[in-house]
């Protein structure tokens, strides 16, 4: 039987084991572990890739989001609007920045609904934090208009969206600051935790640098309270090596998305993400391939029996479902989406035949001809 895991962590390493070992040996023999040249080279390349002035390696994207919010000037008692269809990390970052996360509805694109975001604005709202989910960028023109109208900051959760573009601009470059994740299963993944804060604003960069460096500024003087969150130099070296091949990775993921579209577009029981060429305003990198399906749970079970791993994002819990954290919002659109959404395998280990097998298994479940 075919076996298609949702994501193969060993493959992340074994696919380029020799190259990675060469990087490890090189870095290890130099003893270059913390705040060394590979980190600075990676930060520079990442900023150039995104078209922003500054990138700061941090321990993980959750730290990065908190730092981005604090550096952008979020204060206690502020409210920050975010999509309820996001990782817990987005809300956690707002909480630990001292502010209140306000989850709102997403739209049919699974991304924050700009109208819902505007409807949630109060006198305490300081920022909108759009999550560039699944490797697709939100409707940033609409969000930008709302932010300008109500004098709000935009801080992007671009954890899933390195290289995703809207009208030619990269996710992570729209707001005052953004964070990106290098968690292993992310499109640019390292062999452990890692993240980056990116910004065009030199002051925000300086504050983020201080916050992550015990409050020390670039001259080494202590100028505020700060903590310690760093991207390991070893990880940075590995990420720099992978960033050089990133165009190929984005291209392949878009190819896989096209294959899914071709083989499933006539199946009325599922709603697919937009195809790569569906909308010239969007360049998606398909961090995830999240479909909507009738009889979702039965389909998931069927695919499991066919040897295909699938995943329901966030374990099926939206932010507003987390009652232990005090959320009381009623978000019926998101509730319904969370009974229908399912992520199909989308990663660099897949060959074309794998996508056909997944698609055929879905077709046969719904009684469509192969």
Ligand X SMILES: *Cc1c(COP(=O)(O)O)cnc(C)c1O
**Cα gap 80→60, rounded to integer Å:** 21
For 247, the 3-state DSSP assignment is: helix
| Contacts with 277 (C-beta within 8 Å, 6 or more apart), sequence order | 258
Minimum distance from CB of 362 to ligand X (Å)? Answer: 24
Nearest-Å Rg of the Cα atoms of the chain is: 21
Give the nearest distance from C-beta 151 to ligand X in angstroms: 25
User: In the complex, what is the shortest distance from the CB of residue 129 to ligand X, in angstroms, rounded to a whole number?
Assistant: 10
Of the residues 20, 49, 166, 183, which one makes contact with ligand X according to CB under 6 A = 183
Q: Is 87 in the site for ligand X (CB under 6 A)?
A: yes
Nearer to ligand X, 62 or 361 (CB): 62
SS3 category, 360: helix
Check residue 60 for interaction with ligand X (CB under 6 A).
yes
Give the list of residues 6+ apart from residue 355 with CB closer than 8 angstroms, or none: 256, 259, 260, 263
| Residue 310 interacts with ligand X (CB under 6 A): yes or no | no
In DSSP terms, 216 is beta-bridged to 222
Decide: is 90 part of the binding site for ligand X (CB under 6 A): yes
Interacting stretch for ligand X, rule CB under 6 A, among 29-37, 55-63, 102-110, 246-254?
55-63
Q: Is 173 in the site for ligand X (CB under 6 A)?
A: no
Q: Pattern of binders to ligand X over 140-169, x per CB under 6 A?
A: -----------------x-xx---------
Least distance in angstroms from the C-beta of 123 to ligand X = 28
Question: Smallest gap, in angstroms, from Cβ of residue 59 to ligand X?
Answer: 8
Residue 219 beta carbon to ligand X: minimum distance, rounded to whole angstroms: 29
Q: How far is the CB of 104 from ligand X (least distance, A)?
A: 15
Asked if 361 is part of the footprint of ligand X (rule: CB under 6 A), the reply reads: no
Q: How far apart are the first and last CA of the chain?
A: 18
Q: Which is nearer to ligand X, 183 or 286 (CB)?
A: 183
User: What CA dihedral angle connects 298, 161, 85 and 13, to 10 degrees?
Assistant: 50
Question: How many residues touch ligand X (CB under 6 A)?
Answer: 15
Q: Going by C-beta distance under 8 Å and a sequence separation of 6 or more, which residues neighbour residue 123? A: none
Is residue 229 involved in binding ligand X (CB under 6 A)?
no
Pick the binder of ligand X from 8, 86, 173, 261 (CB under 6 A): 86
The minimum distance between CB 281 and ligand X, in angstroms, equals 21
Query: Using CB under 6 A, which residues numbered 235 to 294 contact ligand X?
Result: none
H runs (alpha helix) in the chain: 9-14, 17-30, 37-50, 61-72, 88-96, 114-119, 140-149, 202-211, 233-243, 246-264, 296-305, 332-340, 352-365
Q: Which of 215, 177, 210, 214 is nearest to 196 (CA)?
A: 177
Interacting residues of 16 by C-beta distance below 8 A, sequence separation 6+ = none
In the complex, the residues that contact ligand X under the rule CB under 6 A are 60-62, 86-87, 89-90, 131, 157, 159-160, 181, 183, 193, 195
């Amino acid at each position: 039987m075919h076996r298609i895991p949702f994501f193969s962590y060993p493959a992340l390493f074994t696919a380029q084991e020799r190259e990675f070992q060469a990087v490890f040996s090189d870095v290890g023999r130099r003893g270059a572990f913390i705040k060394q040249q590979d980190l600075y080279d990676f930060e520079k390349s990442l900023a150039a890739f995104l078209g922003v002035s500054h990138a700061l390696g941090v321990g993980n994207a959750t730290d990065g989001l908190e730092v981005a919010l604090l550096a952008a000037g979020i204060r206690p008692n502020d409210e920050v609007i975010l999509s309820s269809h996001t990782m817990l990390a987005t809300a956690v970052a707002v909480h630990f920045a001292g502010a209140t996360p306000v989850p709102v509805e997403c739209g049919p694109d699974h991304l924050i609904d700009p109208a819902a975001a505007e409807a949630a604005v109060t006198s305490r709202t300081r920022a909108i934090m759009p999550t560039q989910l699944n490797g697709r960028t939100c409707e940033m023109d609409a969000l930008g208009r709302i932010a300008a109208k109500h004098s709000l900051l935009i801080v992007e959760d671009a954890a899933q969206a390195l290289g995703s573009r809207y009208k030619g601009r990269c996710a992570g470059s729209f707001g005052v600051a953004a964070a990106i994740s290098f968690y292993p299963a992310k499109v640019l993944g390292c062999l452990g935790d890692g993240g980056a804060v990116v910004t065009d604003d030199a002051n925000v960069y300086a504050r983020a640098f201080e916050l992550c460096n015990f409050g020390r500024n670039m001259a080494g003087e202590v100028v505020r309270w700060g903590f310690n969150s760093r991207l390991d130099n070893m990880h940075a070296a590995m990420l720099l090596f992978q960033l050089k091949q990133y165009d190929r990775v984005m291209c392949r993921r878009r190819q896989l998305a096209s294959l899914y579209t071709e083989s499933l577009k006539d199946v009325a029981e599922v709603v697919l993400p937009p195809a790569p060429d569906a909308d010239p305003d969007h360049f998606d990198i398909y961090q995830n391939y999240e479909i909507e399906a009738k009889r979702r749970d039965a389909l998931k079970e069927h695919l499991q029996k066919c040897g295909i791993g699938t995943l329901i994002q966030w374990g099926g819990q939206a932010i507003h479902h987390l009652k232990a954290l005090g959320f009381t919002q009623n978000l019926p659109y998101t509730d319904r989406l969370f009974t229908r959404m399912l992520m199909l395998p989308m990663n660099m280990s897949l060959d074309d035949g794998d996508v056909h097998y997944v698609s055929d298994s879905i077709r046969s479940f719904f009684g469509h001809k192969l």
